[in-house]
Structure 1
């Protein structure tokens, strides 16, 4: 039986900041952001958006009534959870109109948890043919104003339906993975922003990729030339290049040129959004599927990394007609229609978030959008609406 990704959808809030403008205000050279880091624009999160709203909005783009009837489980991966007890998946279940007779769970391990959720979904469907699992990876990368990590902020959600007749790609059972206790990135319980050692994180990312690639080759016999490209976790787009450069000598000049072009295709959307933690690698995958040079039956490598640290490398085999399915997602159009804000407006929005559950408050949610929105706090409870 073939199990894999049947549908994939992406959502990011409708506000964005030009990073050239941010660099100028911060007194930095724009090339430091656009070339050195590899980011051009980042999504800005208004106070009426959170991981629940983004996850629901991404899922609404792909779910049909038939999907809702067949979904047996919702796995919500995030490191930006809205409650320390109640899973974001429970909120999503109600807002998406799913059956009460399903499992709903939230998972956390930095940026890696979406991959664990995808693997759990694959295993569940393999044991329960005809059932489907909804996997949501949603996050808000928030480091603080005028901090070293500010340029890599971002937000968004990727929703995937896993089934036993996947229209996009089969998830191979060839995973290799590893974990190490590393202090490269963390967010204490009492903090709304992350702490990060950027240089260490880059070093560990590269080291884990190289280690797992060697292990993957040993266990599968696959060569770099057997892959039509990679989807990397991209906290910033330059990170994928740093990893791939380590193994480029394993293919000839034509192979190197092809893989670089595929890497560039996988970076298109992340460059315009910023870091979305658990969803980052799957936004890169969607970008590669939409913008890359791919054909049915080809195999893609996927490298998922989460600081702290955990990583996994596996492959996907493209289904017949995958391009027609992903063509239905107009990501470029969504990104192009975002409203650009000034640095001053961005700073005001950044400071307007409603983190205090002890104070009844209302967000600035506009009416009539048709989207899921966070309305604010009432008696310590989060309030949501769709419409």
Structure 2
């Protein structure tokens, strides 16, 4: 039985800030952000968007009425939760018009949440092969203005539809994983902005990748030459390149060149959006499929997922015949190209407004063209609108 990804959708805001201009405003050389981090643009999320609306905007692009009727499980991976009790999955399922005869819940483990959801989906589909599973990875990355982590902010959502006999990617059966209690990144309950030990977190990422990748190739007998691409969770795109070099430095020149070329295709969208936390790996997959010129049906892709705190996993999948339709779709590239640039001052104003959405507020939805928006908070209840 083949189980894997049948469809992928992506959404972010219609606003961005230019990273070179942000660097200059912070008295930094632009190369520190453009090359040192590998980031060109950063999504700026307005007050009218949260993880629920971002997720619904991503899902609406891919789901047909037939898909919605076949979904039996909705899993929402996020570390930007909107309620300490009620799951974002329930809000999203209702807004999307899904059946009430489903399971819907939220899952959290830093940037690993969507991968955890996909692992659960694989088990569910084994027992329910006629159903489909909708997994979200949606987040708004916040470290604070003029902080060391500011340049690795961003936001958006991926919606991943999983099924038996998928059209895009069929997962290989083996996965390897590692969990370890470390304090490299965390967000206390009384904070809307994350805390991070940057150098420690980067080294932990590389250590986790080394361990799970080494374990994977040992257990499967595969080598770097068996992968047509390796993709990564990308808090900033240079991080994935550092991990890739741990593989390519031991590979043949031909394999190293090919994997590096495919990595460049995989990071194109991420470098123009910023950090998606839970959605980052799957935006990288989407970027790879739509920007690579070499992949074909039967190509094997290795995926590394990492969530601080920490959890890591390495797994792989084989491209199916239907992936070419997604590869030829220019919707995401067009959407990113049509976004509106905001100045650094405007970005700072929008950022501060996002931290101060309070009960009783009505939000300026007329400025937001997205189909799903947050209109405000009344009686401590979030108010959503589908246009």
Relative to the length of structure 1, the TM-score reads 0.98
Structure 2 SS opposite 1:361: coil
1:269 maps to 2:266: no
State the Cα deviation string for residues 30-76 of structure 1 (Å, max 9, x = none).
00000001100000010000000000000000000000110001000
What's the counterpart of residue 130 of structure 2? 130
Contact 1:9–1:329 (Cα < 8 Å) also in 2: no
Equivalent residue, structure 2, for 1:352:
353
Q: Is contact 1:122-1:171 (8 Å) kept?
A: no
Following superposition, the deviation at residue 370 of structure 1 comes to: 5.6
| Aligned equivalent of 2:58 | 58
Runs of at least 4 residues off by over 3 Å: 354-357, 367-370
- The change in CA–CA distance for 1:20 and 1:370 in structure 2 (over 3 A counts) is closer
CA contact (8 A) 1:301 1:316 kept: yes
In structure 1, the gaps of 5 or more residues are none
| TM-aligned CA distance change 1:65 to 1:326, over 3 Å | farther
Partner of 1:254: 254
Judge conservation of contact 2:52–2:92 (CA < 8 Å) in 1.
yes
Matches within 5 A, 1:20-39: 20-39=20-39
CA distance in 2, matches of 1:327, 1:147: 39
C-alpha separation in 2, matches of 1:64 and 1:337:
25
Moved more, 49-58 or 115-124: 115-124
Whether the 8 Å CA contact 2:47–2:357 is kept in 1: the answer is: no
1:324 paired residue number = 325
383 and 266 in structure 1: CA distance in 2 versus 1, 3 angstrom threshold:
same
Q: Structure 1: how far apart are the matches of 2:209 and 2:197? A: 18
1:177-200 CA distance string (max 9 Å, x none): 001111100000000100001100
Deviations 1:197-245 (A, max 9, x none): 1100110100111111111111100100000011100000000111111
Q: Which structure 2 residues correspond to residues 6-21 of structure 1 after superposition, within 5 A? A: 6-21=6-21
Whole-Å Cα distance in 1 between the matches of residues 345 and 165 of structure 2?
49
SS at match of 1:181: coil
Kindly state the Cα deviation for residue 327 of structure 1 after the two structures are TM-superposed: 2.8
CA contact (8 A) 1:231 1:282 kept: no
Conserved? CA contact 2:289–2:326, under 8 Å: no
Q: Is the 8 A contact 2:296 2:319 kept in 1?
A: yes
Aligned to 2:143: 143
Kept in 1, the 8 Å contact 2:8–2:159? The answer is yes
Q: The residue matched to 2:365 in structure 1 has which SS?
A: coil
Distance 1:346 1:320 in 2: 42
Q: Is the 8 A contact 1:60 1:96 kept in 2?
A: yes
Provide the C-alpha distance between the structure 2 equivalents of 1:367 and 1:197, rounded to a whole number of angstroms.
36
Counterpart Cα distance in 2 of 1:275 and 1:337? 19
Whole-Å separation in 1 of the counterparts to 2:347 and 2:248: 39
Distance 2:245 2:218 in 1: 20
The range that moved more, 242-251 or 120-129, is 242-251
**Number of equivalences:** 386
1:312 to 2:305 alignment: no
Partners in 1 of 2:368 and 2:41 — Cα distance? 27
CA contact (8 A) 2:153 2:275 kept: yes
Matching of residue 228 in structure 1 with residue 201 in structure 2: no
Give the superposed CA RMSD: 1.2
Distance apart, 1:368 and its partner CA: 8.5
Instruction: Tell me if the contact between 1:23 and 1:30 (Cα under 8 Å) persists in the aligned partners.
Output: yes
1:356 Cα deviation after fit:
5.2
Is the CA contact 2:290–2:326 (under 8 Å) kept in the aligned structure 1? no
Q: Distance between the aligned counterparts of 1:368 and 1:298, measured in 2?
A: 39
Give the superposition deviation at 1:299: 0.6
Instruction: Kindly report which structure 2 residues correspond to 1:1-387, keeping only aligned pairs within 5 A, or say none.
Output: 1-292=1-292, 293-328=294-329, 330-353=331-354, 355=356, 357=358, 359-366=359-366, 369=369, 371-387=371-387
Deviation at 1:249, TM superposition (A): 3.0
Counterparts of 1:154 and 1:239, CA distance in 2:
15
Contact 1:230 1:301 in 2 (8 A): yes
Q: TM-score, normalised by structure 2?
A: 0.98
